[in-house]
């Protein structure tokens, strides 16, 4: 097991009495790919900037390899950052962009500044070009590169100084969808090849699940859950995490006993235990965990209100007793049809009630949006004049 390299202990941050980080405790292991995930304003970038030394927490400690670094400036930390805007030097070619930091004299053992030999600079630049798959692009101007190639140059420039940690602040945000997916694999490959810690910030759940060893889900300046991608997706700790990571149907339930939960006055077998008898709970059912069956064979019965074709699947909205569910299936059930559903025990996840209970899970607004888009009788000015909730 890798040791803890970075530890945030009780870190809070406030701007003009507005708290943006609230008592954050986080341990980041050596050689780990950790992602800070959450919506805009959740505190993930502030956390990254505190680690990088660009901001000092209002309270709390930052430990790096056992040493407190609250007051250590960014250039004295063995941490480099790649921002969403790569900030490459347009007047320099690829080689010189990567070599830039190596040409800055550094203090030697006697305190005097020493420049690296040109042979060492060349060896390390060529090594990084190999790592980021840009060998042969040394003399290319950065303006002649694609977005993905520019990002690789920015990563190489950050890694050539051999930091222990690389911070990445939404670096894929400016790329198109296909290139973004390609770069997800590339970033993970680079991290494994370099064997250093990556701390990655994103609001994109797919990026977080695809690349990370550990995902930290944040909201309102607080950590909501820390775990592997599988744990975060399959075992969300509250309704916010369940809703933010993928699609979820979140229903009010009652835990009648260990392994038995009641929703819509019907009892379902589940795998969850340890709740009080008859405790009110939130029940999460992922859209892909619902099986459509004939109406007379269903544990629940409902009416299809909307169907959206998504290529490999249909997104079907089904009304169960006034609560609309999202079901993802390869089988088409037309609008207006009556269906039944079955859910296996491992497809039901029970959570404690939280401050987020009741805020997510009903797809009525989702359904209405699609119905309005598909209804040619609705004039644009009629839509705009309606009251918004």
| Extents of the domains making up the chain | 4-234, 239-375
- The reported pLDDT for the residue numbered 146 is 87
- The string of DSSP codes covering 285-326 is E-GGGPEEE-GGG-SEEEEEEEEEE-SSSEEEEEEETTEEEE
Helices (H) and strands (E) in the chain, counts: 10, 22
Contacts of 305 (CB under 8 A, 6+ apart): 317, 318, 319, 324, 335, 367, 371
Strands 214-219 and 197-202: what pairing? unpaired
Look up residue 384 and give its two tokens: 């705009």
Q: Cα(first)–Cα(last) distance of the chain, in Å?
A: 50
Dihedral-angle region of residue 336 (phi above 0 means left; psi in -120 to 50 means alpha; beta otherwise): left
pLDDT at 157: 92
Overall fold of domain 4-234: Rossmann fold (3.40.50)
pLDDT at 109: 79
- Write the CB contacts of 184 (distance below 8 Å, at least 6 apart in sequence): 172, 207, 210, 211
**Strands 67-68 and 59-64, bridge-based pairing:** antiparallel
Q: What is the pTM of this model?
A: 0.85
Burial class (CB in 10 A: 0-12, 13-18, 19+), 43: buried
Angle at 290 between CA 37 and CA 184, to 5 degrees: 30
Which has the closest alpha carbon to 263: 252, 271, 279?
252
Q: How far is residue 270's CA from residue 268's CA, in Å, rounded to a whole number?
A: 6
Beta carbons of 164 and 78 less than 8 angstroms apart: yes
Q: Which residues of 123-156 are buried (b: 16+ CB within 10 A; e: fewer)?
A: ebbeebbebbebeebbeeebeebeebbbbbbbbb
DSSP code for 362: -
Q: Nearest-CA neighbor of 170 among 62, 232, 64, 81?
A: 81
CATH superfamily of 239-375: Nucleic acid-binding proteins (2.40.50.140)
Distance (Å, whole) CA 365 – CA 269: 29
Q: Is 344 helix (H, G, I), strand (E, B) or coil?
A: coil
pLDDT of residue 386: 38
pLDDT along the chain (389 residues), means of 10: 89 92 97 96 95 95 96 93 84 94 83 87 94 92 89 90 93 78 87 93 92 96 97 95 93 97 95 96 96 95 94 94 93 94 96 94 61 44 38
């Amino acid at each position: 097991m890798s040791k803890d390299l970075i530890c945030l202990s009780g870190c809070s941050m406030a701007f003009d009495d507005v708290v943006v980080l609230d008592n954050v405790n986080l341990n980041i292991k050596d050689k780990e790919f950790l992602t800070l995930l959450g919506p805009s304003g959740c505190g993930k970038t502030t956390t990254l900037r505190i680690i990088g030394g660009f901001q000092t927490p209002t309270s709390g400690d930052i430990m790096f390899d056992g040493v407190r670094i609250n007051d250590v400036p960014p250039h004295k930390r063995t941490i480099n950052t790649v921002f969403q805007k790569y900030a490459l030097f347009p007047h320099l070619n690829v080689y010189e962009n990567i070599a830039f930091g190596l040409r800055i004299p550094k203090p030697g053992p006697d305190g005097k500044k020493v420049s690296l030999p040109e042979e060492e600079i060349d060896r390390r630049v060529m090594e990084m070009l190999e790592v980021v798959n840009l060998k042969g692009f040394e003399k290319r101007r950065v303006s002649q590169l694609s977005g993905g190639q520019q990002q690789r140059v920015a990563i190489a420039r950050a890694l050539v100084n051999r930091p222990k940690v690389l911070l990445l602040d939404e670096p894929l945000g400016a790329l198109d969808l296909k290139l973004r997916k390609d770069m997800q694999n590339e970033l993970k490959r680079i991290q494994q090849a370099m064997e250093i810690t990556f701390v990655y910030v994103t609001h994109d759940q797919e990026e977080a699940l695809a690349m990370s060893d550990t995902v930290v889900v944040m909201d309102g300046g607080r950590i909501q859950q820390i775990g592997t991608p599988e744990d975060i997706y399959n075992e969300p700790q509250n309704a916010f995490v369940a809703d933010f990571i993928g699609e979820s149907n979140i229903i009010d339930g009652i835990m009648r006993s260990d392994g038995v939960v009641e929703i819509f006055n019907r009892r379902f077998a589940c795998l969850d235990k340890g709740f009080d008898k008859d405790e009110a709970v939130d029940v999460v059912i992922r859209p892909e965990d619902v099986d459509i069956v004939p109406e007379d064979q269903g544990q629940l019965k409902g009416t299809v209100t909307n169907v959206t074709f998504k290529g490999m699947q249909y997104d079907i909205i089904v009304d169960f007793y006034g609560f609309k569910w999202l079901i993802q299936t390869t089988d088409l059930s037309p609008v207006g049809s009556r269906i039944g559903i079955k859910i296996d025990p491992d497809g039901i996840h029970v959570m404690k009630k939280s401050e987020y209970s009741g805020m997510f899970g009903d797809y009525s607004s989702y359904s209405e949006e699609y119905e309005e888009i598909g209804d040619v009788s609705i004039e644009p000015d009629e839509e705009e004049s309606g009251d918004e909730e």
